[in-house]
Structure 1
Amino acid sequence: MKIRRILATAVAAAVTTPVVLLSVTPAFADDKPAAQTQNKPSVAELEKAAAAAQAVYDDAVAAEEAAEAAMEAAASDTAPLAVTAKAARDTAAEAATAKTTADEAVVAAQAAVDDLTDAATDEERSAAESALTEAKTAAKAADDAKVAADDEAEKAGKALDDYRVAAAKELHKARKALEQALADKNSADEALAKAKEEEAEGGGEDETCVPEPKLTTVVTGLPSTVVAGTKTDFKLRVTNGTGKTMDEVYPFVYVHATDKSGLKGLDDLVRLQWSSGSSKTWKNVDNENYIDRISPLKAGAHADIKMRLTVDAKAPAGNGVTFVAGDYWNDNGTCGGSPDLEGYEFMIAAAGSKPGKTPDATVGTTKPNNSNLTPQTGASATPAGGTLAATGSSDATSQLALASGAAMAIGAGAVFVVRRRKAGTHA
């Protein structure tokens, strides 16, 4: 059995733009996914998205090749700036040699004056002193020429270095863009392949998943300011507010962060982990941003999951948001999930900061009232009905259709759409 959270409108944005710059600001509270639809992208639409991703990838390949060629040209000794820099260095070397020669001439002329005896005629003394004066004048000119030549050589060298550094930066950017384009292309191809597979295997017998607003996910204990280089523990409560048991529930968690400008992503410097019950073992959230299933979650019950947010000490001051949601699947084939992604916003303080006690992170929507709901297993913090599945990535792992970072944080463009059971694969 497979469940998928496909963000339809975000798909197009993620695959048609080489670089998606996302800003995490207080505006996220207003930009959380709000529009829902039960219309799943068709195979034709996914084919179009895959073709767009392929085109972006092809352009990225060409751009990377051009940047590689530019880097090779910049590194070549025949590059115009390299030729200019060499000529300037040669001129500076010649000026240095000329200065040395001129200085030696001054020393010789001074020695000639010093060697004059009382028997020297006025003409001999005048000639020696004139030669010394001329030697000093020539030495001063040679020194000025050397200073000027050294300055030109330094400027030419800096221009060459700047040129090569710029070429290296462009190559790095091109390679990163190519890496992202390849990831988006692979995601688009995979989404298309799975859609075709489901269409072939399930046909019209697949059942449509629906939004379920009474399946709620609420975060508590996550501070509104997190210091880089620290680990922060908080809690995720998943509640089945419906009147029916959900056989399998899959909590979804995702963290996104940027620097203060909102232009530089910090996702590689933030990490989410989870644990359940009294376990002291922390597990990484899987690469599809799901925690292992809660099986089952009875009507009116909730399950508490321990969460841990780690922010690398290298992270600069910035902003972050932790998104949470949930999907469910029943043995009879019915399925659904939280219609919205709740985004809990927090600030990242630079390593070593001491922000003191700060309030908890909040979202722009009202938290559900669970006063009439009781934990299925008494006061225990274990998931309702037992524990989270301990098998790592289960046979019901969920998958984002395209690049999760871009798709999840686009906000208003993210749309909840159908999840369907693959015939013959439900455990």
Structure 2
Amino acid sequence: MKISRTLATAVAAAVTTPALLLSATPAFADGKPPALTAKKPTIAELEKAAADAQKAYEKASADESDARKALASLDTSPALVALGKAQKDADEATRAKAAADQELADAKTWLSALPTTASPVDQDLAAQRVAKAEEAVKGAGTAKTEAAGRLATAKAAADKVQDAAKDALDRAKSATIKALADKKAADQALADAKADPGPSTECTQDASLTTALSGFPSQIAAGTSADFSIRLTNGTGKTLDRLWPFVFAYVDGKGGGKDIDKLVHLQWSEAGSDGWKELPLNQAGPVTHLAAGKSADLKLRMRVDGATPVGRADLFVAADYRNADGTCGGTPSQARYEFDVLAVGGKPSRTGESQPTTAPRAQGGAAAVPLSATTAPADGALAETGSSAVPQLALAGGAAVALGAGAIVLVRRRRSVRD
């Protein structure tokens, strides 16, 4: 949907409810695509972060203590108890094997020591001893091998349990170290914020920043154009790094509801230039480094197409600034300049300039139609989170409120910009 239709909806809502107050955050731009920004945390948010970090550190410390206890208590775990029994069985099997080996050696020595005159009975007894010892050695060897296998299995199971407990302790130690570092960082961030809360997070409304039109006619015929200028005067007492005037045209005339966003054009020109630029979303400039007490002028042009409906009209003017340190602000309200759109070929009956007013213009019966609502520029000239049509909506709503219920107050907040 075109922006002009969105604006028409906003105006219609404001006209039907004159008490409506439409406020909007102004967008600041420098001709570059908007950068991602991070909202500065509040003291309350930092206090919560510090408290959460403290709780996380306490939990990590408790988890580390539990991991130490779990590692220390492994001696009574089933795996280590089984390992102890397997080790005892293996040791016993080793001693039995050694004893069997010794008995076999002794039996063989006895057999070989028998004299040639030994009786057959003695020779048979010696041979039986050797045979019995050999059987014992064989059985002890099998038992030793089986005990060694059970010991290896039990040791692998115990090692697995111990390694898991050690890994858990190492992870708990690392978590404690990280939690402590996070806690210290959160505590430091809170302390720094309390020591230096920084600039206000809201844009200021400063009546000492003023806007004024010069040469703006009180009547203009359809099919013609009018050149005039806007002066920005810095009475804030400080240099303003970047300023943007906002200019918005609004007509309450015949033919309401028509799509006329291409019929009325607002343009601006830089100092010393003869070329004209369209106002992207009703924004001119920026004016840079305007010193305290100084003024800057921008040339403006309104071109009114011949098909523009005849009727009463208003031009709204406001200005905003943003400084390199992040502070920002703007005019506390809009200046309204009344003018009439005449028929093609019409001759102005009033030749004087239109003067700013804050008095509400009486509402007529004709439909309200916003003028000079353009689509968003591709180069990101208007930069703000959310819809790029917000300033236009605010001004369009402001126009309707001005007609029905007096001047609107622009509510502005600072846009935090961080690398």
* TM-score normalised according to structure 2 size: 0.46
- Work out which of the two has the higher radius of gyration on C-alpha atoms and give 1 or 2: 2
